[in-house]
Structure 1
Amino acid sequence: MNDLLANYAAIEHILDHMDDASSDAYDEETVAEVAIRHERIMRRMESAGNRRILEVSDRDAHRAAGCVTLTEFLQTKLRITHPKKRLQAVQALEPMHAMTGEKLPPVCPNTARELAAGTIGPDHVHAVLDVIKKIPSAVDAERRAFAEQTLAEFATTLTPKEISAAGVRILAHLDPDGQLTDDRDRARNRKLNLGCQDSQLMSKLTATLDPITRALFDVVLAKWAAPGMNNPDDDQSPKGDHADADPQLLKDAADRDCRSQSQRNHDAFKALLDAAVNGGLLGGSHRGLPPQIIVSITDAQLREHAGVARAATGTDLPVSDVIKLAADAQTHLAVFSDVTGEPLFFGRGRRLASQAQRLMAFAQYRGCSKDDCTTPFAHTEMHHAEADWADGGNTDSTDMAPACGRHNRAVGPEPHQWSTEKITDGPDRGRYGWRRNTDPPDRLRANQLHRINELIERYRCPPDAVPTVSRAFDITWPGFELYPAA
């Protein structure tokens, strides 16, 4: 262990000297060679890093670093941008343990060898793995191994994009008639991914649909995406499907419809989701909240029709869109006991938080209360933060905080576990903060990620200025609930 630490210390020492090194005294050929050697060394370090990650996984060492899961360790401590892809590479390139304890050879030994030699990089690895995942299950182990060997050899000279193109030809060779692909392969490759919102608050949806899902979606598009149907820019456009629409009304709407087929598909999908949310298909509750759009907004944003509101699911909505939602909702004050009389303090009378308590917690936290956790409120549980229910804790709004499942289960008395305590001063006063049991008492941290707007306003306000108190409201649609934030 000492040798390993000494080696890494030596690498860091060398890097310190390299930071100040200059290539001015070398000719162009040497400068190019230095750049090539640098990248090769970086790729070799990627391979060594995979072994370090596997060691952390085998020994649950992420707990010693204060992380509940290995993925959290990769994200927060190793600062890896795509932790799931990195773990897939580790599982494919490193010798894993079988259920019985013995070590198994790497799934992709040739790719692992090339990465360790520095001849390929992580992007080449992911391109190879993407092709390997598409090999039909019915292909025998010998031909599968040959395909991996061929791809690894190609990777030493081809770009990742060219590897994918070569993979298409390899897959065609392995299954020329398309007869080996079966339901197992289709089930393994099905996916639907919703990307992050961009600067325009738009999101990219990508999917690989199995045949039945594609057929069902085609039926929906045939009816709901027909010209003139579900057009948000046309008040006279028929909604839903066109079975009950007046033929002349539909024809007139179609004549006015200037949308592309892609835009009609989008609007049909939107109408389908609206029907599911507001038609009772999702039931009456999800984690104690109504399965509807719930947003948090200030009265200043309502007056000015400007800004961005945060939904309980973590989605940002322009206030202009919130106003449109509010137009179709029935508004009423809710949640706070001094407004509606709803009980917010149950003591030991019940274990689970009420819907009113959940909505109040959303107004205060917006998401998981654990610092640096990005889980939105709709995917959290109510954590008995003052004292666990098993230890005599109360189901009172003042004693609870939202926490995602993995962090809720991370609270406990063990050294690697966490504790929660209410913050008594500063801008986070009244909220619960988190600290590891081995941390000093003053290291209590609140989650700021879900309240970025508040942080911006705090820094914009001069230190000696008296902040203007602004009432905040939380809104559900439909049933559009407004209540002042804590």
Structure 2
Amino acid sequence: MSDLVAKYAALQSLVREIAEETSDAYDDETVVQLAITHETAVRQLQSAGNRRILEVSDRDAHRAVGCVTVTEFLQTKLRVTQPKKRLKEVQALEPMHAMTGEKLPPVCPHTARELAAGSIGPDHVHAVLDVMAKIPTAIEPEHRALAEQTLAEFATALTPKEIAAAGVRILAHLDPDGRLTDDRDRARNRKLSLGCQDSQLMSKLTATLDPITRALFDVVLAKWAAPGMNNPDDDQSPRGDGSEISSDVLREAADRDCRSQSQRNHDALKALLDAAVNGGLLGRSHRGLPPQIIVSITDAQLREHAGVARTATGSDLPISNVVKLAATAQTHLAVFSDVTNEPLFFGRSRRLASQAQRLMAFARYKGCSKDDCPTPFAHTEMHHAEQDWADGGLTDSPHLAPACGPHNRAVGTEPHQWTTEKITDGPDKGRYGWRRNTDPPHALRANQLHRIDELLERYRNPPDAVPALSRRFDITWPRVHLHPAA
């Protein structure tokens, strides 16, 4: 049997040797060829890596390293930045097992062959997959296979952008009149993605809308994004749909409006979301929290009007925006300390945490308490971290910690499961940490992903050089909650 472990060890050793070498002694033609050979090898390894990922998934081997899902394994152990995109690549290029157990050929065999040969890269692969996803389901399988073969051949010579352009021609050839595309195809391709915040805390929204959604959005924009409507730079601008505003007022507001159409579209969407959040459309509660903007900041940030606040849904807000939200809301303060009127200790009288307890947990953790889990607080459950409810655990604030659904269910006594315990010293003292059920046990680990600002402050000011953490405020728009620091 081939010793795959030894071969990978030899590969790592060889990679280190190659990295230490220079091409100074070679002529230009050889230097160019070395670069081509290197890139080809990287692509071939990507193909082999897909096979390794599939093997981990087929055997549920990710549980051996403490990962609840394959996606978590890609994120935390392989450090793949877009795990869902990588899994899509694996599913299209690798032989998968059918429900009955037999192994099926790859969905895109020619694209898989070219990646394995190193003649195309991951960007080419996803350009091909994007085109294939748009082919109507009514197209005959042999025509679909021919389209994939053609795209794979194009990919060896074209850029990903050019592959997309070629895909348009192929789709036009397969369905020239657009009569084969049906509601199933449109439903399959609908999507809306909200990108990560950039250095300016701005986010990119991309969407593929089905016909009805597009028609509805057009109606909204026709009214809410009309010139003069919902202009954040104009205090006299009509808000909402402007149905009760006189034509003279709207015309004057339109004359003052210097926004582009795309900016008006943005402001219309913002006004629409504001109406939904503060108009009661979202109901009274979501996972025990009010469906409103909830942030946690310090009194120093309030004094200095500087810094960034983290919301319960995982977004970042400049403090200036937080102050603006609080100033325009019906502000209410509730002190979470000994004088609070809401009970924070329920013992065995109830299993589910109260809203006050969830707000306290948000201020303390900001998100899932499992180390390396990126799930924001609004998508977590309250985990009985000291002792499970079924085993007699108490629904008291000191015994609760937020955990996403998969990690909450991963706690147990089995070797592949996790244990949660309260950390008794260090900067995370008082928070719950996680460790796998191993022998000997690993150290408790707290989640730092949601408290980057605290980490930065810790590095700037060592613990022995700073006073105790200041009191922390929880602001819920339109209500503001104040409590002592965690």
Asked if Structure 1 and Structure 2 have the same fold, meaning a TM-score greater than 0.5 normalized by the shorter chain, the answer is yes
* Residues 261, 467 of structure 1: alpha-carbon distance in 2 compared, 3 angstrom cutoff: same
Match of 2:29 in 1: 29
Match of 1:161 in 2: 161
Q: Matches of 1:459 and 1:36 in 2, distance apart?
A: 42
* Residues 27, 85 of structure 1: alpha-carbon distance in 2 compared, 3 angstrom cutoff: same
Match of 2:298 in 1: 298
Question: Over residues 22-67 of structure 1, what are the superposed CA-to-partner deviations in whole Å (9 max), with x where a residue is unaligned?
Answer: 3233222222222211111111111111111111010000000111
The DSSP-based 3-state class of the residue aligned with 1:334 is strand
Q: Matches of 2:335 and 2:356 in 1, distance apart?
A: 5
2:306–2:320 contact (8 Å) kept in structure 1: yes
Match of 1:66 in 2: 66
Comparing 113-122 and 181-190, the one that deviates more = 113-122
* Residues 420, 439 of structure 1: alpha-carbon distance in 2 compared, 3 angstrom cutoff: farther
Cα distance, 1:480 vs structure 2? 2.6
The DSSP-based 3-state class of the residue aligned with 1:473 is strand
Cα distance, 1:335 vs structure 2? 5.7
Q: Matches of 2:37 and 2:409 in 1, distance apart?
A: 46
The DSSP-based 3-state class of the residue aligned with 1:326 is helix
* Residues 305, 439 of structure 1: alpha-carbon distance in 2 compared, 3 angstrom cutoff: farther
AA of the residue aligned to 2:286: H
Match of 1:192 in 2: 192
Match of 1:173 in 2: 173
Q: How does 1:261-276 map to 2 (within 5 A)?
A: 261-276=261-276
The DSSP-based 3-state class of the residue aligned with 1:79 is coil
2:469–2:485 contact (8 Å) kept in structure 1: no
Q: Matches of 2:344 and 2:274 in 1, distance apart?
A: 31
The DSSP-based 3-state class of the residue aligned with 1:89 is helix
Q: Matches of 1:339 and 1:168 in 2, distance apart?
A: 66
1:230–1:268 contact (8 Å) kept in structure 2: yes
1:335–1:356 contact (8 Å) kept in structure 2: no
Q: How does 1:229-268 map to 2 (within 5 A)?
A: 229-268=229-268
1:337–1:344 contact (8 Å) kept in structure 2: no
The DSSP-based 3-state class of the residue aligned with 2:168 is helix
1:335–1:342 contact (8 Å) kept in structure 2: no
Gap regions ≥5 residues in structure 1: none
Comparing 9-18 and 114-123, the one that deviates more = 9-18
Cα distance, 1:463 vs structure 2? 5.0
Question: Over residues 275-308 of structure 1, what are the superposed CA-to-partner deviations in whole Å (9 max), with x where a residue is unaligned?
Answer: 1011111000000000001111111111122211
AA of the residue aligned to 2:448: Q
Cα distance, 1:329 vs structure 2? 2.3
Match of 1:309 in 2: 309
Matched, 1:342 2:321: no
Q: Matches of 1:283 and 1:387 in 2, distance apart?
A: 32
Q: Matches of 1:161 and 1:467 in 2, distance apart?
A: 55
Question: Over residues 125-181 of structure 1, what are the superposed CA-to-partner deviations in whole Å (9 max), with x where a residue is unaligned?
Answer: 111111100101110001000001111111111111111111111111101111111
Gap regions ≥5 residues in structure 2: none
2:334–2:480 contact (8 Å) kept in structure 1: no
Matched, 1:143 2:143: yes
Comparing 342-351 and 460-469, the one that deviates more = 460-469
Q: Matches of 2:279 and 2:20 in 1, distance apart?
A: 66
Match of 2:409 in 1: 409
Match of 1:94 in 2: 94
AA of the residue aligned to 1:81: T
- Count matched residues: 486
1:123–1:160 contact (8 Å) kept in structure 2: yes
The DSSP-based 3-state class of the residue aligned with 2:373 is coil
AA of the residue aligned to 1:264: R
Cα distance, 1:452 vs structure 2? 1.2
AA of the residue aligned to 1:199: S
Match of 1:283 in 2: 283
Q: Matches of 2:110 and 2:466 in 1, distance apart?
A: 65
Question: Over residues 210-261 of structure 1, what are the superposed CA-to-partner deviations in whole Å (9 max), with x where a residue is unaligned?
Answer: 0100110111111111111111111111111121112222121111111111
AA of the residue aligned to 2:214: R
Matched, 1:45 2:45: yes
* Residues 463, 282 of structure 1: alpha-carbon distance in 2 compared, 3 angstrom cutoff: closer
2:470–2:485 contact (8 Å) kept in structure 1: no
The DSSP-based 3-state class of the residue aligned with 2:230 is coil
AA of the residue aligned to 1:395: T
Question: Over residues 81-120 of structure 1, what are the superposed CA-to-partner deviations in whole Å (9 max), with x where a residue is unaligned?
Answer: 2111111111111110000000111111111111111111
Q: Matches of 2:83 and 2:462 in 1, distance apart?
A: 40
Q: How does 1:70-89 map to 2 (within 5 A)?
A: 70-89=70-89
Cα distance, 1:13 vs structure 2? 2.3
* Residues 376, 335 of structure 1: alpha-carbon distance in 2 compared, 3 angstrom cutoff: farther
Cα distance, 1:439 vs structure 2? 5.8
2:337–2:483 contact (8 Å) kept in structure 1: no
* Residues 419, 463 of structure 1: alpha-carbon distance in 2 compared, 3 angstrom cutoff: closer
AA of the residue aligned to 2:470: S
CA RMSD of aligned residues (A): 1.4
Comparing 450-459 and 333-342, the one that deviates more = 333-342
Q: How does 1:209-228 map to 2 (within 5 A)?
A: 209-228=209-228
1:333–1:340 contact (8 Å) kept in structure 2: no
Question: Over residues 417-451 of structure 1, what are the superposed CA-to-partner deviations in whole Å (9 max), with x where a residue is unaligned?
Answer: 11100000111100000011116445100111111
2:333–2:479 contact (8 Å) kept in structure 1: no
Q: Matches of 1:70 and 1:400 in 2, distance apart?
A: 27
Runs of 4+ in 1 over 4 A off after TM superposition: none
* Residues 404, 446 of structure 1: alpha-carbon distance in 2 compared, 3 angstrom cutoff: same
Cα distance, 1:389 vs structure 2? 0.7
2:362–2:377 contact (8 Å) kept in structure 1: yes
AA of the residue aligned to 2:221: L
Q: Matches of 1:286 and 1:371 in 2, distance apart?
A: 24
Q: Matches of 2:298 and 2:339 in 1, distance apart?
A: 18
Q: Sequence identity of aligned pairs in percent?
A: 81
1:288–1:353 contact (8 Å) kept in structure 2: yes
Match of 1:358 in 2: 358
Cα distance, 1:2 vs structure 2? 5.7
* Residues 20, 199 of structure 1: alpha-carbon distance in 2 compared, 3 angstrom cutoff: closer
Cα distance, 1:209 vs structure 2? 0.5
Provide TM-score, normalisation by structure 1.
0.97
Q: How does 1:408-427 map to 2 (within 5 A)?
A: 408-427=408-427
* Residues 442, 132 of structure 1: alpha-carbon distance in 2 compared, 3 angstrom cutoff: closer
Question: Over residues 433-486 of structure 1, what are the superposed CA-to-partner deviations in whole Å (9 max), with x where a residue is unaligned?
Answer: 001111644510011111111111122224542415411100101123333332
AA of the residue aligned to 1:293: I
Q: Matches of 1:210 and 1:429 in 2, distance apart?
A: 50
Q: Matches of 1:264 and 1:67 in 2, distance apart?
A: 44
Match of 2:368 in 1: 368
Cα distance, 1:337 vs structure 2? 4.5
1:333–1:481 contact (8 Å) kept in structure 2: yes
Q: Matches of 1:335 and 1:3 in 2, distance apart?
A: 63
* Residues 161, 183 of structure 1: alpha-carbon distance in 2 compared, 3 angstrom cutoff: same
